[in-house]
Amino acid sequence: MAEPRTRLALLSPHRVDSDRADALAEALTAACAVGDVAAVLLRLAPADERSLVNLVKRLAPAAQSTGAALVITVSDFAGDVVSVAARGGADGVHLDKARDGALQDLRERLSDGRILGAGGHEQKHAAMEAGEAGVDYVMFGGIYSDGIAPDADTVRERAEWWVEIFETPCIAVAHDLAQVDGLLATGAEFLGLESHLWMGEGADIAAIQALVAASEADT
């Protein structure tokens, strides 16, 4: 039986607001046309719920028209992110560094088939707790909202550990092109790409997709 292929997960810049929506939608459309994109993680700036719903509605078609799932997360948001996802037409919700019980609560509320993802897990115990809560994926890596990137070796090691032991899929995130080959070697189901790798000057998603194809040809 052939090994399942690795697909791409695109991470938006942090704190996307309405001023950046058109440029982001254009970049998403272009990237999804070239890469085998399974999901887009939309990292929104905090706002009132109605504004967030409208923003998600503006951006969702750029991902979903090519078959990619749109998963949202909102920084410092005291409102109801599940409601934003449902009303905006997103496919799911992502939570970083979840507080006790938060993932279990979201899992119960996302019983309509929407995706629940979790990230920010540099500690193995936290990742295992997320898996036990019933998330649809765990994410290792990804630049934090303060601009700090987690240690690249730790991200690779965590992804490799997770793939060897657990059935829940994982996203292993690259924030530098030099990380891509190592993350592909872990066997992670999804290769996450920070925004500067797939949008903006110097981004080359076609080259990254070629690396994915080459890694699969070698297996």
Strand partners, 52: none
Instruction: Please give the pLDDT value at position 33.
Output: 94
The Cα–Cα gap between 160 and 188 comes to 7
Tokens of 192: 């996450």
Chain mean position to CA 162: 16
pLDDT digits (tens, 9 = 90+) for 97-106: 888 789 999 9
Beta strands in the chain (DSSP E): 7-11, 37-44, 69-74, 92-96, 115-119, 137-140, 170-174, 190-193
The Cα–Cα gap between 218 and 177 comes to 19
Which amino acid, residue 158?
R
pLDDT digits (tens, 9 = 90+) for 111-127: 889 999 999 888 899 99
* This prediction's pTM: 0.96
Instruction: Please give the pLDDT value at position 202.
Output: 86
Instruction: Please give the pLDDT value at position 201.
Output: 87
Report, as an integer, the average pLDDT of 197-215.
94
The Cα–Cα gap between 186 and 171 comes to 11
Report, as an integer, the average pLDDT of 181-202.
96
Instruction: Please give the pLDDT value at position 1.
Output: 35
The Cα–Cα gap between 92 and 85 comes to 6
Top-confidence residue, 85 or 3: 85
Q: How confident is the model at residue 80 (pLDDT cuts 50, 70, 90)?
A: very high
Contact indicator for 175, 142 with CB cutoff of 8 Å: yes
